[in-house]
Structure 1
Amino acid sequence: MTIIEIANNKTVSIIEQLKERLDGTVRNIYGEEILEFNNKIGCGTIRNVAFDWGITLLDYDVCFNEDLKIVYKLTESSPVEFLFISKGMMQYSADNTDYVELDRFQNVIISNKLNSKNVFVFPSTVDVQLNVIQVTSSEYEKKKNNNINSLPEKLLSVFKGSNENLPYKHFGGHNLKIASVIKNLNNTQGSGIIKSLSIEGQLNLILALQIAEHKNFINKNVLPDSLSQNDMKKVHDVANYIVNNVSKYMSIKSLSSLFGLTPKKLQSGFKLLYSKSVNEYIRQIKLEIARDLIKNTDNSISEIVYSIGYRSRSYFSKIFYDKYSILPTDYRDSIKKGLKAKAE
């Protein structure tokens, strides 16, 4: 097992310390510090972005060739950390004792005493996507309208700097709403102020969802009895299937049979996760893909209609107009005019 020790000091950044052991290259883009590596140790990307009020994003998209342990020594501060794994699994320990397996889609909140160690073990040959939002509570308290007094009692004591409930560990429920927002976070487009504001906004939303899950968990407000965590994972798989098979005919009955869910559970899961029925979700995905094809390809409108599984161009034009308030042909014409104007 490879062991890497990292100190959370202000002299050398976490990314630079990781680079010393993982090799690779570091890029700094609009405040994002990004380590990329591909060698005998493994491959992947680790990103670090700092914001005001003590909030920092540290995310991993990695795969190591052997078990790798990262030991974070809390020498200067001990942030409250909100963890979420979108892919794979890993282990966590406070000071190398009582290792706990962290599951995919599980909401995790941890904090440790100053001068202690947070230990993370990445298993070999497993693709891991880990999102960590670190909150330095002493800085966050300076934020106006922080409303931290509404936090549950033990978590509030941690934010207030008390050692009474440290090390703090919340290994909560599985939450696919958080997974959906993190997916958007990882796919954030744009550059400069646009990208920075988008990332910061999504971080605040993720924090809100993680704190809400924490409250629901300790108050035992779990998912409806008819939907297990395994059911919710299946619903997430159905959503991915829809995106990747948009040209196929899909019905609630066929999707339910394919993924081993009752139609009622499938509908309930989509309402819970996406605030849409299954058919509404399918229509949205088809329209979004069609919009991008109209914009980025020379395929005819009829070809695009067939590629997303529709057979009636008039029906497609109607629902496209209902969604975007413009007909598909007019949308393409407006894009061509825009490109022509730029060329001139």
Structure 2
Amino acid sequence: MKVIQHFYSAETKWIDVLVNTLGGTIEGNFLIADNEIYCGRHYILEMEERIWGIVIDISYRDNLLLEYINKKNNFIGLYFYLTDKDVNFILDNESTILGKTDCNLIVIDGALDTRYAVTQGTEVYVICIFIDKELLQEFVEKIPRLKLASKDIFDEEKNTIISMGRMGIESIDLIRDFKKIPYDNSLFELYFRALSYNLIGHFLERLLTQKIIISKVIEDDVKSILASKVYLLENVDEVFPGVEFLSHQAFMSASKYKKLFTKITGLSPGAFFYSNKLQRAKELLETGGLTVSEVADKLNYTNISYLAKRFNNKYGIFPKEYQSFL
């Protein structure tokens, strides 16, 4: 697998970094390529002095490990993914899937280096936004409910900003609508600025609805939580193993494990497991090969009524009704 390293910070001239590592031709704010690594384009825009935005719309022609190594930790990266295949976010040898089913939004502190593994043929559409931490703190402090917490959120001695979860439907709809705009549209830059600031706004709104957990996170912690996520996804057909078992696997106390899992994924271990179990139930129903009762048995639900109640709470329809519409 070919390794490509990007060295960057909030002040990075991104178009220079990308052309040096991936190749291509610079045309204004676009980097366009059709080479052995990828085909497609990047659009890079410095929206203001301390905010950069990038559109990545490419198809990879090789199996690659993309390493993003930070020169400074003075920024936060927001990554919004639309992909046709799975992309693996990696720390050491542990990974979490980005894209269709698991995680399509990463918010990550510049203090953490990142790696992504992509396979040949993967098509990726990503909106990346890099924001200077001091500027982001100014945004946060304008929100009355977050003003008191902002000092701790941005205190590098106390907290590491990291989240790996799912975009809200509003963000997905905005990105899909933006994707329809031709690159040669004379207002493309204006539309991209509007999209970027809207996505930043959605991120700030999520802070209002999520429990803010102040905790320092090191790469080994993230690696352990990613490994735990993989374990839960691979065993989603089984009964929830319990926090004590999972924390022991992660070499953490139960309280630390639950705290970090919730901080990184936005969900408690149990909520994450049962949400993905219901997603699995939905997928099994869509095959048409199993009855609702058989799905309940396969996924180790205590009874069909419990599955039906959970399914209706999540999707607004009972599983038998859902199957009848397929």
Please say if 1:61 is aligned against 2:61: no
Hey, what does 1:90 align to over in structure 2?
Answer: 87
1:204 deviation in Å?
1.8
TM-score by length of 2: 0.56
Matching residue within 100, 103, 106 for 2:104:
106
Q: Separation in 2 of the partners of 1:135 and 1:232?
A: 37
Partner deviation per Cα, 1:37-83 (whole Å, 9 max, x = no partner): 11222212122211126222122122222221222221134421222
> Do the aligned partners of residues 232 and 24 (structure 1) sit closer, same or farther apart at CA in structure 2, a change above 3 Å counting?
farther
TM-score by length of 1: 0.53
User: Contact conserved, 2:81 with 2:104, CA < 8 A, in 1?
Assistant: yes
Hey, what does 2:16 align to over in structure 1?
Answer: 16
Identity of aligned residues (%): 12
Q: Separation in 1 of the partners of 2:164 and 2:148?
A: 15
> Do the aligned partners of residues 19 and 49 (structure 1) sit closer, same or farther apart at CA in structure 2, a change above 3 Å counting?
same
**Where do residues 262-281 of structure 1 align in structure 2 (5 Å cutoff)?**
none
Runs of 4+ off more than 6 Å: 219-222, 230-233
Q: Separation in 1 of the partners of 2:126 and 2:98?
A: 10
**Where do residues 158-237 of structure 1 align in structure 2 (5 Å cutoff)?**
158=153, 160-166=154-160, 168-188=161-181, 194-213=187-206, 215-218=208-211
State the SS of the aligned residue for 2:36.
coil
> Do the aligned partners of residues 215 and 152 (structure 1) sit closer, same or farther apart at CA in structure 2, a change above 3 Å counting?
farther
User: Contact conserved, 2:19 with 2:31, CA < 8 A, in 1?
Assistant: yes
User: Contact conserved, 1:172 with 1:214, CA < 8 A, in 2?
Assistant: no
State the SS of the aligned residue for 2:177.
helix
User: Contact conserved, 1:138 with 1:161, CA < 8 A, in 2?
Assistant: no
Please say if 1:35 is aligned against 2:31: yes
> Do the aligned partners of residues 196 and 21 (structure 1) sit closer, same or farther apart at CA in structure 2, a change above 3 Å counting?
closer
Q: Which structure's CA Rg is the greater one? A: 1
1:176 deviation in Å?
2.9
User: Contact conserved, 1:107 with 1:172, CA < 8 A, in 2?
Assistant: yes
> Do the aligned partners of residues 62 and 196 (structure 1) sit closer, same or farther apart at CA in structure 2, a change above 3 Å counting?
closer
Pairwise CA RMSD of aligned residues?
A: 4.1
What is the count of residue pairs matched by the alignment?
227
> Do the aligned partners of residues 65 and 195 (structure 1) sit closer, same or farther apart at CA in structure 2, a change above 3 Å counting?
closer
Please say if 1:51 is aligned against 2:44: no
Gap runs ≥5 in structure 1: 234-260, 268-344
Structure possessing the higher relative contact order (Cα contacts under 8 Å, 6 or more residues apart): 2
Partner deviation per Cα, 1:67-120 (whole Å, 9 max, x = no partner): 2122222113442122221123312235x463322233733211141xx52222
**Where do residues 293-304 of structure 1 align in structure 2 (5 Å cutoff)?**
none
1:122 deviation in Å?
2.3
Q: Separation in 1 of the partners of 2:140 and 2:108?
A: 24
